[in-house]
Each structure stands twice: as structure tokens, then as C-alpha cells.
């Protein structure tokens, strides 16, 4: 059967559907006038039409291939870029709170090798806590500074005034004169109910690089550290959120963006963060803030006595009737403890390599609760206010117990803690 024969055409009318193989190479086309498939040859137009058909099928297949690839890549890209719930929380907290975190630059005058006075620059972070321009930071960030400058998140700079500070808890309050619309106040939460494992977010200005956010968890609560002047700071929060130089004074936040602490120190053999950071609990800050703003200092309650922990070894060496408590070593003349009839040490004794004053009373209870050491007594008193009355159970050096009531007074500024 040759291309274009009548037989072929007749055969095609019988209902041919599909392609016909013939001894000669040809192609088939639909004749709309005759209503049949017409044969053609490989020359000229026929060859072009056949080639075009092959090319179109190839192009369509290639196009479909790219569509599938693009859709697959699009799905992968969306999946790869989707934010987790934790990431969305971090972003939300940063967007809301970061504008309220400031950079603090301090200038301290020092003497060089030739005793010339030279300025030294320091830096830290702080939190806006009031729309009037009050800023909370660490005492050690501004200690001995002769000039303070605050830089807001929007880049505006202001000279800052020191309103008050408390080295005992390493906190200070500054004030800047800025427009209220430029100030974002960071809300305060509470540190009373913090749990180990709870999320912690630190925002600050480490190494002067600008605002940064680091995250971690509450590693421990109720830690005790000593401030720069030797005073005990209680209820310290420990976290593994990175706290680097320049973060000091910045806020430690919970997942709601509320301040739960003020970053203050790290434990590190290198000076960089190794996952052991500490923050002053926000409840401590709440306790001292009003006094710092109104008086410039916190009016600590004062017992007027220097205490020393009585250890079992010391009690055995001194042949005492109790083996724990707080020994009253010295008394401030006319102070609250002295007025209440408590006795201090009056003779010296050597214990190991130390010379200590002995002969004073031993405090074994405060307000009906037993105390095991001097730090326990100090912690209880620091939770009170000047003017409060406290009941103390004491053991006399020569024997016998007695209950006395002490009315606490405001601690003189010149008084220093001694152990």
C-alpha cells in the first residue's frame, strides 16, 4: 500500500484511528474537506511537520518537567523557611522589648603609670522602666563614672544622670530627658515563681555590637553570690543564656517578654560566656527601686551587729553548749542590738590561723525560726524594713537562753558588712 493511493484513502474511511505503517516513509494529515487522513511524503513540508511534532512534544515534556521541579522546590523552600513556635516567640519578644533596651557608656578617670589622669571608657546595658526616663542597670556599670551617656535603640544619644545606686545588690537607676514617644517601657514580671527549665531570654549590647538576643533556660534559682562590696545577694537566677561583656544591666525576660531579672555576672575562666550566667531577681529590684529614685539609696534595716557563723568545729573548740548559729562578734554602740541588750565579744581567741573575738551572744532563732549561720540571720533581716521589730532567741556565752526584741533602724551609710 503506497502513500496517496485510492485504496489507502478508502481504507482510511473505514474507521482508521492511529498511525499507519507503510513500505514507504510517510506521514498522515487530516483533510478537513474530505473528512479523511491524507498521506504525505518526507520531502519539504511533510518533513518539517513531522519534525515540528516531535519538537513540540519534547518542549511540552521539558516544560512539564520544570513545572514539577519548581513546585517541588517551592514546597521544600516553604518547609525549610517555616518558623517554629519557639522562633516566632523569640521574634515577637525581641520586636516588642528590644526598643526598651539601651546602651550605657561610662567614663571613669584613672591614673596612668606616670600618675596622669586619663579617662577610661566602659559600656553596659540598661532597661527603660518608666516613661519619665528612668533606666535600671547594674551598679558596677556606672561605678565611679564621671560621665554617663545613654544610646536608645533608635540611635539617639542622651546625657544621663545617676539617680541612685545600691552596691549591695548591684543595681542603679539613671535618668534621661527624652520624649515619651522615644521611650519603650519594659514590663516587669515576677521572679518568685520561676522554675528550673523555664525559658529565659537575654537582650543586651555585648562587646558594643548593638542589640542582640540570646536564649536559654533557667538553670537554677535561689543562688547566692557576693557583690563587689562583699554583701550577699540572695535568690540569684542562674541561666545558660549567653551573657557577654556589655550585656550587664540588660533585662532577662520570660517567654511573655516580662522582665524577670537583671543580668549581672558570669562564671568564666576566659571572660566569655560558657553557659553560667547570673541575674539579679526582678523582685529584688522592685524592693529597692522606690528608695533609689526618692532617696538615692536603699534604706536597709540595720541590726547594728557584726556576726560570724558558728561551725561545729569552732563550737567544740570553744566548748559551747550549741554547735550552730550566728556569733555576735561586735556591736555598734547605741545601735539596735546594743539597745536590746545583746552582748558582743570581749576577748580574743585563736582558731586555726585566725584571731576572733569571743564571749558574745549566739543567735539561734529569728522570729521563731531556727538559724544555722550568720548569713541566715542577715537574709531574714534584709527582707524587713527600718522600724520593724524582730524577736531573737539568743544563747549566752556563759550559758542560758533568752528571747529579746530588737527594733531595726536604718543602716548608716558608713556601715560596712563584715563577716
Catalytic residues, by residue number, are 140, 170, 248
Grid cell, residue 325, equals 548559729
Grid cell, residue 82, equals 517555616
User: Quick one: which H or E segment has residue 192?
Assistant: none
What's the rounded Cα separation, in Å, for the pair 152 and 89?
A: 23
What's the rounded Cα separation, in Å, for the pair 351 and 316?
A: 11
For the chain, what is the largest distance between any 2 Cα atoms, rounded to a whole number of angstroms?
141
Measured distance between the N- and C-terminal CA atoms of the chain, rounded to whole angstroms: 119
Confirm if 390 and 384 have CB atoms less than 8 A apart. yes
What's the rounded Cα separation, in Å, for the pair 391 and 81?
A: 63
Closest CA to 288 of 415, 167, 184, 183: 167
**Residue bearing cell 511524503:** 41
Alpha helices in 98-143 (DSSP H): 139-142
Burial of 119 (0-12, 13-18, 19+ CB in 10 A): exposed
**Residue 63, C-beta contacts closer than 8 angstroms, at least 6 positions apart:** none
Q: How far is CA 174 from the centre of its chain?
A: 21
Grid cell, residue 87, equals 522562633
Alpha helices in 45-146 (DSSP H): 45-81, 85-97, 139-142
Confirm if 329 and 374 have CB atoms less than 8 A apart. no
Amino acid at each position: 500500500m503506497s502513500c496517496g493511493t485510492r485504496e489507502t484513502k478508502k481504507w482510511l474511511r473505514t474507521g482508521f484511528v492511529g498511525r499507519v505503517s507503510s513500505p514507504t516513509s510517510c506521514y498522515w494529515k487530516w483533510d478537513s474537506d474530505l473528512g479523511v487522513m491524507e498521506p504525505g511524503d518526507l520531502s519539504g513540508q511533510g518533513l518539517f511537520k513531522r519534525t515540528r511534532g516531535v519538537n513540540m512534544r519534547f518542549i511540552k515534556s521539558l516544560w512539564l518537567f520544570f513545572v514539577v521541579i519548581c513546585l517541588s522546590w517551592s514546597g521544600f523552600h516553604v518547609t525549610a523557611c517555616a518558623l517554629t513556635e519557639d522562633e516566632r516567640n523569640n521574634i515577637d519578644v525581641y520586636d516588642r522589648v528590644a526598643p526598651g533596651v539601651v546602651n550605657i557608656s561610662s567614663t571613669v578617670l584613672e591614673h596612668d603609670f606616670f600618675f596622669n589622669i586619663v579617662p577610661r571608657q566602659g559600656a553596659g546595658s540598661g532597661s527603660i522602666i518608666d516613661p519619665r526616663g528612668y533606666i535600671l542597670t547594674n551598679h558596677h556599670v556606672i561605678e565611679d563614672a564621671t560621665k554617663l551617656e545613654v544610646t536608645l535603640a533608635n540611635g539617639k544619644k542622651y546625657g544621663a544622670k545617676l539617680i541612685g545606686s545600691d552596691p549591695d545588690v548591684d543595681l542603679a537607676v539613671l535618668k534621661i530627658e527624652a520624649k515619651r514617644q522615644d521611650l519603650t517601657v519594659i514590663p516587669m514580671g515576677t521572679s518568685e515563681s520561676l522554675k528550673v527549665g523555664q525559658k529565659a531570654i537575654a537582650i543586651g549590647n555585648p562587646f558594643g555590637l548593638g542589640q542582640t538576643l540570646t536564649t536559654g533556660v533557667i538553670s537554677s534559682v535561689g543562688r547566692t553570690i557576693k557583690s563587689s562590696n562583699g554583701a550577699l545577694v540572695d535568690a540569684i537566677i542562674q541561666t545558660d543564656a549567653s551573657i557577654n561583656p556589655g550585656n550587664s544591666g540588660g533585662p532577662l525576660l520570660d517567654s511573655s517578654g516580662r522582665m524577670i531579672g537583671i543580668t549581672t555576672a558570669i562564671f568564666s575562666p576566659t571572660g566569655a560566656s560558657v553557659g553560667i550566667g547570673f541575674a539579679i531577681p526582678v523582685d529584688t529590684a522592685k524592693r529597692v527601686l522606690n528608695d533609689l529614685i526618692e532617696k538615692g539609696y536603699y534604706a536597709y534595716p540595720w541590726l547594728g551587729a557584726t556576726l560570724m557563723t558558728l561551725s561545729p568545729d569552732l563550737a567544740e573548740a570553744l566548748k559551747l553548749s550549741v554547735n550552730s548559729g550566728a556569733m555576735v562578734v561586735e556591736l555598734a554602740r547605741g545601735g539596735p542590738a546594743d539597745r536590746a541588750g545583746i552582748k558582743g565579744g570581749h576577748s580574743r581567741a585563736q582558731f586555726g590561723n585566725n584571731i576572733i573575738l569571743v564571749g558574745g551572744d549566739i543567735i539561734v532563732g529569728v522570729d521563731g525560726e531556727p538559724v544555722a549561720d550568720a548569713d541566715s540571720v542577715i537574709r531574714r533581716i534584709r527582707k524587713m524594713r527600718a522600724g520593724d521589730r524582730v524577736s531573737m532567741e539568743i544563747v549566752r556565752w556563759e550559758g542560758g537562753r533568752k528571747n529579746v526584741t530588737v527594733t531595726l533602724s536604718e543602716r548608716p551609710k558608713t556601715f560596712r558588712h563584715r563577716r
